[in-house]
């Protein structure tokens, strides 16, 4: 990751002066870190609820995405986006069909690595 430089700061008051500076490194914003700990918390024959934990946003507002692929025919069945949290409720799924759920985050600098759940 690139380094834009460092800021050094010292504190001083009537008691003493700081001897060693604090160092703040400035780095450019990048894509968000991947979501983690994704689980299907509830499921029926035609709907499911997926919840994940957000990764670090790298300082930018992020969105969360869920792609639901019908693995029987390798077809994108549903694509959902959440601006709030990596939590998705998917309805009207064909009963008895195997799916692959792909979850990722994005921001204005790009997208995170994807996390796949096979079910």
pLDDT tens for 3-52 read 678 899 999 999 999 999 999 988 788 999 999 999 999 888 889 999 99
How far is residue 67's CA from residue 117's CA, in Å, rounded to a whole number? 10
Confidence at residue 115, expressed as pLDDT on a 0 to 100 scale: 96
Statement: the pTM of the whole predicted model exceeds 0.85: no
The stretch 59-76 carries a mean pLDDT of 93
Is pLDDT above 90 for 72?
no
What was the pLDDT predicted at 79? 97
For the chain, the average pLDDT equals: 92
Domain 36-118 has CATH 1.20.1530.20: no
Strand partners, 106: 63, 111
How would you class 104 by CB atoms within 10 Å of its CB: exposed for 0-12, middle for 13-18, buried for 19 or more?
buried
Which pLDDT belongs to residue 26? Answer: 85
Q: What's the gap between Cα 33 and its chain centre?
A: 6
**Residue ranges covered by each domain of the chain:** 36-118
Return the pLDDT at 87: 97
């Amino acid at each position: 990751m690139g380094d834009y430089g460092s800021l050094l700061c010292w504190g001083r008051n009537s008691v003493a002066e700081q001897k060693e500076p604090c160092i703040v490194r400035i780095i450019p914003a990048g894509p968000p870190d991947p979501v983690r700990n994704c689980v299907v918390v509830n499921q029926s024959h035609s709907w499911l609820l997926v919840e994940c934990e957000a990764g670090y946003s790298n300082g930018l507002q992020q969105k969360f995405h869920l792609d639901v692929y019908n693995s029987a025919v390798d077809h994108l069945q549903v694509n959902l986006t959440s601006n709030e949290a990596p939590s998705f409720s998917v309805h009207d799924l064909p009963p008895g069909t195997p799916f692959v759920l792909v979850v990722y985050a994005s921001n204005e600098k790009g997208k995170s690595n994807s996390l796949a759940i096979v079910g």
